[in-house]
């Protein structure tokens, strides 16, 4: 479990826009670790966590004009019924609000990546640090970036 940079990319809701942004990342060999796309009428918000934030930032700076960065908590969970619910309950029990969350698809019996946005990520991380559902990962690999930087 670690804190990572999430990019929120504001897209016009028309054919080809999603493909252009994700294609630019693919061409630069930036892997998308997790993503969600939400419709908001004429616009959508693509939220992504990538394996190389610096390269993603460079690509987005060239490929798109409206995006922001924020920190989120990323963790691997067992891909089984209740794993996500257990994490959400642990946070609720400690009065940690979850602003939004999403998961990747995972193979049955395998693992999935969960992304949580909470107002106090340090507290949320402390609450979840001993959760048996989450795979333990080294904090040395954590990267914390500036928050809310806006491009465009």
Q: Where are the domains of the chain?
A: 7-67, 72-141
Residue 67 in contact with residue 7, Cβ under 8 Å? yes
**CATH fold match for the domains 7-67 and 72-141:** no
pLDDT band at residue 142 using 50, 70 and 90 as cut-offs: very low
CATH 3.30.2130.10 holds for 7-67 = yes
Q: What does the pLDDT look like over 97-115, one tens digit per residue?
A: 999 999 987 767 788 899 9
Q: What does the pLDDT look like over 54-96, one tens digit per residue?
A: 999 999 999 877 999 999 999 999 888 899 999 999 999 999 9
d(CA 65, CA 75): 29
Tell me the CATH class for 72-141.
Answer: alpha beta
C-beta neighbour count of 144 within 10 angstroms: 12
d(CA 5, CA 142): 10
Q: What does the pLDDT look like over 27-54, one tens digit per residue?
A: 999 999 999 999 887 889 999 999 999 9
pLDDT band at residue 149 using 50, 70 and 90 as cut-offs: very low
Residue 148 token pair = 């809310």
């Amino acid at each position: 479990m670690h804190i990572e940079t999430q990019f929120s990319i504001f897209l016009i809701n028309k054919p080809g826009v999603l493909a252009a942004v994700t294609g630019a990342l693919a061409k630069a060999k930036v892997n998308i670790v997790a993503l969600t796309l939400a419709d908001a009428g004429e616009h959508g918000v693509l939220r992504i966590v990538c394996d190389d934030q610096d390269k993603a930032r460079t690509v987005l700076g060239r490929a798109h004009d409206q995006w922001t960065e924020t920190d989120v908590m990323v963790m691997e969970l067992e891909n089984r019924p209740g794993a996500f619910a257990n994490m959400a309950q642990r946070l609720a029990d400690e009065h940690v609000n979850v602003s939004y969350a999403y998961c990747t698809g995972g193979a049955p019996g395998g693992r999935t990546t969960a992304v949580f946005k909470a107002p106090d990520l340090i507290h949320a991380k402390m609450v979840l640090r001993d959760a048996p559902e989450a795979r333990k990962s080294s904090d040395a690999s954590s990267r914390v970036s500036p928050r809310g930087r806006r491009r465009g």
